[in-house]
Amino acid sequence: MELGILRSIKTGFSRTANRVTDKVAGSGLGQELNTLDSSAHAAYGSEKLTALVRRAAADAGVILKSDGALPLPLNAPVAVLGRCQCDWFFVGYGSGGNVHAPYKTNLLDGIRKAGGNLYEPLAKEYEALSASKRFRAEAGFWGHWPFSHPEFTERLKTLPEAAKALADDESSACIVVIGRASGEDRDLKPEKGSWYLTDEERRMLDIAVKSFRRIIVLLNTGGLMDLSWLEEYGDRISAVLLAWLGGQDSGSAAADIIYGSVNPSGRLPDTAAKTLEDYPSFSDFGNKKRTDYREGVFVGYRYFDKKAPDRVLFPFGHGLSYTDFEIAPGGMARTRSGLFVAVKVKNTGSRPGRTSVLLRALLPQSGADKPLSVLVAFRKTRELAPGEEQAVNLSCDVKSLSVFYEDRHAFVLEKGEYFLEANGVHVGGFTLCEDETVETVHSLSPAREELRARIEAAIPEESMAPRTVDRSFADVASGKLPLEYFVADLSKTELEALTRGHGMMNSPLGPGGNAGVFGGVIKPLKDRGVPVATCCDGPAGLRMKEVCTLIPCGTALAASFDTELVEALHEELAHEMEFFGVDVRLAPGMNIHRHPLCGRNFEYFSEDPVLTGYMASAVVRGLADGGKAACPKHFACNNQEAGRNVNDARVSERALREIYLRGFEICVKESMPDLIMTSYNKINGIYSHYNFDLVTTVLRNEWGFEGAVMTDWWMKHGRSPEYKKLRDNAYRVRSQVDLLMPGDMSHFAKDYRSDGTLLATLGTEGGITRAELMRTAKNVLKVILKLKKNEVRV
Ligand code: BGC
């Protein structure tokens, strides 16, 4: 049953109640909306949403190892070490975090609520020390947030007593919590306290293994960290649960797994290598100016399976359960474009549980150098009782098995034998005697003249639509007037205003703490009845002034391998958006986990584009089911935070198409988002927000995207090499990047001031044309019409 509105004292927008204390730091200028002076909060409460958040966090938990220590009986005496038992990390920092959650359940609360037999004196001492002036966890500030908090194990007076009290009970256990967080604008560091354990954490583990019978390590992180110490401790660590940054109910979700009320079913969305140096991108990461993607398509398991199998600690897809499953083939069919595989999954163990079926294609090893196998589809079962069986159908696009040949400009299914495996069980296969071309496309690295010719060809004809003087947007909404005619009537000032947001974050035209608004941002447009659409971050929940639901981080959602759950969760979140007057959620984050130190990996899904693409589609569909829009980001190659506004990602077209664009492609084709956000960085020398091939050739022409493209917040200046007169906003609009967000070129804008670059060349030879402005206006208004139809008034 819906709880509905718990408390609503929402008074609408008020400038005073809505003061924002921006922090100015690095390229996070003006983005720190979390230090809000928010005097009045509305709260949206839905039991369904709350339950889904907890379930998503629990179904994402990954048991990396267990000797049978888990689940614990509720009455097993438990001592917990590690300050994150109270100072739990619920989410990362920056636009992918900073949600004002209605409540937060840390591990201690989770264990207590579950009725676990906690050794309270130790827990209370942790709580007291964590709250003390001396040890209080630092909050940090934009781009300077703490990766971890210092431990204080040696200060614990009750620790020896705890060890003594638990010593004689065979069922007792010590849970050791290790926490890590990261955020926007700053990558993790190959240092103690970030990627590596601190000396204090080491000491804490040493004490734990010496003092207690069974050690259960709980990792409270948004992604991977160094785990080489697990090998060193060997059997002395009985179990490891990767509990992620699981959102507002993380602590309860972890307790659900620890005590077995939820049978864990999460799986790793990334490969955990033995050491940081083992990752193929190790030496090509973090340079501010330029990053060479030398590893090509060999990212994650694609690399490790083939080139370094002995460097894997836990493989992609790894995750243990408290029960066992058997998979049997149920048939396979192949058409020219798709594969269809049926399998039967049976719970052969003694507890109810769910599992994910991961369908991999083993690729022929003749022809191009390519991975041994790739994930092509996945599906999660329902909860199966012991002995129960479920038929699971999987389908995939053969493009996921193909190789992109740069010289042929084509995706090719190479000749040879293909085998299909579901969780390692052979479930089908096929043989090709000849290469098959799956799709032929434009080359993305043409000569300049060729690119110019294509840009030229894409400039629209002047519209023949009649001028319809003073017609209102309501006529368009009611179907009386074609959008084309409405747009034909707009002045150049109106057209210009539709190519950008209102100007600033926390726009007074939207609810407090919004990330920006677009649409009817100037009076003439408003007078014609064009509403504004409000955008809010982000992947972990609404980052705004209000109290909003904090969900598990992107990587955790991916670890659930449960697209149905993610869709249902986002449909509920759409209702929360409606409640707070938010139309567009700046999510999901879809960049590939190329390197484990990327500061925003926690917002993103995986090292694998297929998992990324289908997860993102679930987010987009869920929000659309609830009448709201997603804005998948950052298109493309925002794979490090160092120099994110200037970095040039040097990447082969093959790697781009097979890895870095592929997730976006799946998302666009599966769920047709209304919006997409470009990345800050350059790709092969061209900023994404000016990149015609990225945004027009690939996104719109090849994939059929019909929505609007927005920049990431503020963009770098640029001059078109093809049209020397075009710079900044004109260069962007010619490429069909429709919206500059939040609108002004300056981070500090309080009121919009045009930089003049869009209209400067209007009507001149080689300059921006009115037809281009109209095209962009139409892209934007189509989205507004879809999202705000009921609010169109005159
Ligand atoms: C981030 C985006 C975010 C935007 C608005 C940018 O710095 O890269 O992901 O949506 O700010 O907050």
Tens digit of each residue's pLDDT (9 = 90 or more) over 597-638: 999 999 999 999 999 999 999 999 999 999 999 999 999 999
Q: How far is 605 from 666, CA to CA, in rounded Å? A: 14
Instruction: Name the pLDDT band for 15 (thresholds 50, 70, 90).
Output: very low
Which residue's CA is minimally distant from atom 11 of ligand 1?
A: 713
Give the residue from 281, 193, 236, 255 showing the smallest Cα distance to 67.
236
Q: How far is 222 from 760, CA to CA, in rounded Å? A: 46
Atom of ligand 1 minimally distant from the CA of 586: 10
Instruction: Name the pLDDT band for 749 (thresholds 50, 70, 90).
Output: confident
Catalytic residue among 109, 278, 562, 712: 712
pLDDT score at 652? 97
pLDDT score at 637? 98
Instruction: Name the pLDDT band for 793 (thresholds 50, 70, 90).
Output: confident
Q: How far is 464 from 461, CA to CA, in rounded Å? A: 9
* Helices 47-60, 563-580: crossing angle, 10 deg rounding: 140
Residue 4 has, within 13 A of its CA and on its CB side, a CA count of 0
Q: What is the mean pLDDT of the chain?
A: 93
Using the predicted structure, report yes or no on whether residue 39 has a pLDDT greater than 50: no
Which residue's CA is minimally distant from atom 6 of ligand 1?
A: 713
Using the predicted structure, report yes or no on whether residue 324 has a pLDDT greater than 80: yes
Query: Scanning the structure block, which residue is given the tokens 């988002």?
Result: 673
Exposure string for 218-229, b = 16+ CB within 10 A, e = fewer:
bbbbbbbbbbee
- Residues 669-696 pLDDT 10s: 999 999 999 999 999 999 999 999 999 9
Using the predicted structure, report yes or no on whether residue 137 has a pLDDT greater than 60: yes
Residue 390 alpha carbon to ligand 1 centre in Å: 42
Edge to edge, what strands does the sheet with 516-519 contain? 516-519, 532-536, 584-585, 629-630
Atom of ligand 1 minimally distant from the CA of 633: 9
**Ligand 1 proximal residues by C-beta, below 6 Å:** 31, 95, 515, 537-538, 586, 633, 712-713
Residue 95 alpha carbon to ligand 1 centre in Å: 6
Using the predicted structure, report yes or no on whether residue 739 has a pLDDT greater than 80: yes
pLDDT score at 794? 67
Mean pLDDT in residue range 656-677: 98
User: How many residues are present in the chain?
Assistant: 794
Instruction: Name the pLDDT band for 1 (thresholds 50, 70, 90).
Output: very low
pLDDT score at 747? 86
Using the predicted structure, report yes or no on whether residue 10 has a pLDDT greater than 90: no
The preferred substitution site among 31, 36, 542 for testing ligand 1, maximizing ligand atoms within 8 Å of CB, is 31
Instruction: Name the pLDDT band for 17 (thresholds 50, 70, 90).
Output: very low
pLDDT score at 471? 84
Q: Phi/psi at 530 (nearest 5 deg)?
A: -85, 115
The preferred substitution site among 537, 598, 639, 675 for testing ligand 1, maximizing ligand atoms within 8 Å of CB, is 537
Residue 677 alpha carbon to ligand 1 centre in Å: 9
Atom of ligand 1 minimally distant from the CA of 537: 10
How much is the CA Rg of the chain, to the nearest whole Å? 26
Instruction: Name the pLDDT band for 29 (thresholds 50, 70, 90).
Output: very low
Atom of ligand 1 minimally distant from the CA of 185: 7
- Residues 499-538 pLDDT 10s: 999 999 999 999 999 999 999 999 999 999 999 999 999 9
Q: How far is 511 from 20, CA to CA, in rounded Å? A: 13
Query: Scanning the structure block, which residue is given the tokens 């049209």?
Result: 723
pLDDT score at 467? 78
Mean pLDDT in residue range 111-132: 98
Instruction: Name the pLDDT band for 748 (thresholds 50, 70, 90).
Output: confident
Q: How far is 599 from 269, CA to CA, in rounded Å? A: 17
Q: Catalytic annotation on 744?
A: no
In the beta sheet, which residues pair with residue 118?
A: 78
Using the predicted structure, report yes or no on whether residue 45 has a pLDDT greater than 90: no
